[in-house]
């Protein structure tokens, strides 16, 4: 049995990075749907259809639990996935609650895709946890595409980020929530623009611990690599050529064997 992790592209690697910190030996199958990225401009039914196909594939590879490491896919498809399949699903939570709870200025920023910001999950989170703070939400148009191309720093990245972050700062935001798993790859530039007085909230570490807890609660027997072998515990699949996924994954762990990256059409 393995842990399945999927995203519209390479962004979910920011969640995988945190999962392997708490489950370093666990067998994981990561699926990047980069040929169909971004999801933010797709209809809910299109995203559900992709999520079904990917889930079927991950289950065929032995997934006993699946992390939907994509905010847009979570917003569009997590309910449908839980209704159709018997295994546990971990979705991305818009980390509005901790930002609102700890804000001293009474204003928080949320940077996310259109699909996430239009989703019921985000609006419910704001109503429940942030009704007494000013929420400045911005669609990060073009940011996913930059990360998918491997462009995570430089003037072009900063110029685009400033378009979204400056209005948050002008309204006094002291916390900025990253509402897309691609955005942590832009963290250095985001921090530089936001300044030291602004807290950047990345939900990925909390998702990793939630995954660990659900595995334990359900007594799932996730396979682990043995100490004596040189086998790498994560296998990667992508619907696009493997080079970009490999490049981004190697930024996290250069030791991943190239043979662990696979192209697949589903």
Predicted local confidence at residue 119, as pLDDT: 83
Residue 202 tokens, joined: 């990345």
Beta strand pairing status for 234-238 and 28-32? parallel
Beta strand pairing status for 175-179 and 199-201? parallel
Q: List the Cα angle 195/197/203 in 5-degree steps.
A: 90
Predicted local confidence at residue 229, as pLDDT: 60
Predicted local confidence at residue 120, as pLDDT: 84
On whether the CB atoms of residues 222 and 2 are closer than 8 A, the answer is yes
Q: What is the sign, positive or negative, of the torsion defined by CA atoms of 237, 66, 213, 188?
A: positive
Predicted local confidence at residue 228, as pLDDT: 53
What is the largest distance, in Å, between two alpha-carbon atoms of the chain? 55
Q: Could you tell me the mean pLDDT of each successive run of 10 residues in the chain, 266 residues long?
A: 97 97 96 94 94 98 97 94 98 91 96 89 90 96 94 95 97 96 96 96 95 96 76 96 96 96 96
Predicted local confidence at residue 199, as pLDDT: 97
Residue 22 Cα distances to 5, 218, 220, 249, angstroms: 15, 17, 15, 17
pTM of the model: 0.92
Predicted local confidence at residue 225, as pLDDT: 82
Predicted local confidence at residue 40, as pLDDT: 83
Domains and CATH numbers, the chain: 2-92+205-263 (3.40.50.1860), 96-202 (3.40.50.1860)
* Catalytically active residues, by annotation: 70, 180
């Amino acid at each position: 049995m393995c842990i399945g992790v999927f995203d519209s592209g390479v962004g979910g690697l920011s969640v995988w990075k945190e999962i392997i910190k708490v489950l370093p030996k666990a067998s994981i199958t990561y699926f990047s749907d980069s040929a169909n990225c971004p999801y933010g401009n797709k209809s809910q039914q299109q995203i559900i259809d992709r999520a079904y196909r990917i889930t079927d594939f991950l289950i065929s590879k032995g997934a006993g639990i699946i992390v939907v490491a994509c905010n847009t896919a979570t917003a569009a498809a997590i309910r449908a996935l839980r209704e159709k399949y018997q295994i546990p699903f971990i979705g991305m939570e818009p980390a509005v609650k901790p930002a609102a709870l700890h804000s001293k200025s009474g204003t928080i920023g949320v940077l996310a895709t259109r699909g996430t910001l239009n989703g019921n999950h985000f609006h419910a989170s704001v109503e429940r946890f942030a009704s007494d703070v000013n929420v400045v939400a911005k669609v990060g148009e073009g940011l996913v595409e930059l990360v998918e191309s491997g462009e995570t720093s430089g003037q072009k990245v900063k110029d685009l980020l400033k378009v979204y972050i400056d209005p948050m700062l002008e309204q006094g935001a002291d916390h900025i929530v990253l509402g897309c798993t691609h955005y942590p790859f832009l963290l250095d530039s985001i921090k530089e623009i936001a300044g030291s007085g602004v807290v950047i909230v990345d939900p990925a570490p909390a998702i990793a611990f939630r995954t660990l807890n659900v595995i334990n609660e359900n007594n799932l027997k996730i396979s682990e690599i043995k100490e004596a072998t040189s086998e790498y515990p994560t296998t990667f699949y992508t619907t696009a050529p493997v080079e970009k996924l490999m490049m981004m994954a190697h930024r996290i762990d250069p030791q991943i064997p190239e043979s662990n990256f696979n192209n697949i059409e589903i």
